[in-house]
Amino acid sequence: MVNDDSPAFHPDLTRARFMPPTSATRGNRALLRFVSGLGRTKPPTDGELVDLGDDVLLRVHRPTSASAADAGARRPAVLHLHGGGLIIGSATQGDRLCRRIADELGAVAISVDYRMPPEHPYPTPLDDAEAALRWLAAEPDVDPARIAVTGESAGGGLAASLALRARDRGEIALAGQALLYPMLDDRTGQAAATHPRMLRLWNPRSNRLGWGMYLGAGTKGPEATPLSADELALAVPARRAEQGPAALRGLPPTWIAVGTLDLFHAEDVEYARRLTEAGIPIELHVIEGAYHGFDAAEPSAAVSRDTVQRQLDALRGMLAAR
């Protein structure tokens, strides 16, 4: 008999054993990107589509129950960045969350279709996220002092990078960042996972593929030049955090949630520890037995609904009038 000491999946996640170990591979990446991009040029229900140029689209959601008394009032706002390992996905993934943010928090919520590698490696996706943030801050119905960023997986990592860039440039002071199992460290896929048999929807091989393309390893020509240590620190939040507490000071209050069976568990817990060390208000929510992308794969599960509600509650607190 084989001795298997692997931990159990969360009891609410009844489909876990049927989920594949990963989603994107070198062979299916192009097809998945095409499929995930279907509908990206159609405005969201009760929302609008804004073209920033260069095929960068914003899906904009405003509260549908705004009263006449709200006319002319400035609202809080949230910028959402979608997941997909930096190489697949589209802003349509954020429609449901953004609609809830708009209606439940009374905020303007947008999700950006940032360009992706290998055609558009770093810094283009981050530049697109920053362009979306600048657009949002300039909207007449948005209070630029009450803007938060959020995202899941690769989108959570981009949100963390955007928060660092915004802090560095000092033009837009973010009110907070809510990161759901964020992708923060390009070195994670270089070693075996603690429980490789338990990984779902994202594994070390896919992580190496996504980060490699983002950092330029999947390109040809001049773009293939390896990034310097300083450039890597700007591109990879975990590397920036390793520069010490001073590298993270001035970041906004942060919420991070991650499952114990997620490939990103260790890097997310470590990032939270370094934020705490830097004096940043941090709420870390660790979900026992949850795998990567569990909330999207099993949205009706109680643990999924609870986690998304915690994300909304965290954003609510960040966006409260100051």
Q: Which residues are catalytic?
A: 153, 262, 292
d(CA 194, CA 291): 13
Q: Judge contact between 293 and 202, C-beta under 8 A.
A: yes
Provide the 10 A C-beta neighbour count for residue 159: 27
Q: In what order do the strands lie in the sheet with 176-180?
A: 47-51, 57-61, 108-113, 75-81, 142-152, 176-180, 254-261, 282-291
Measured CA to CA, the distance from residue 194 to residue 313 in angstroms comes to 31
């804004």: which residue's tokens? 50
Written as six digits, the tokens of 263 are 């490939």
Q: Which residues contact 53 (CB under 8 A, 6 or more apart)?
A: none
Rounded to 5 degrees, φ, ψ at 258 are: -160, 145
Q: How many CB atoms lie within 10 A of CB 35?
A: 11
Task: Yes or no: say if 119 and 86 are a contact pair by the CB < 8 Å rule.
Answer: no
Q: Do β-strands 57-61 and 108-113 pair in parallel, antiparallel, or remain unpaired?
A: antiparallel
In total, the chain counts a number of residues equal to: 322
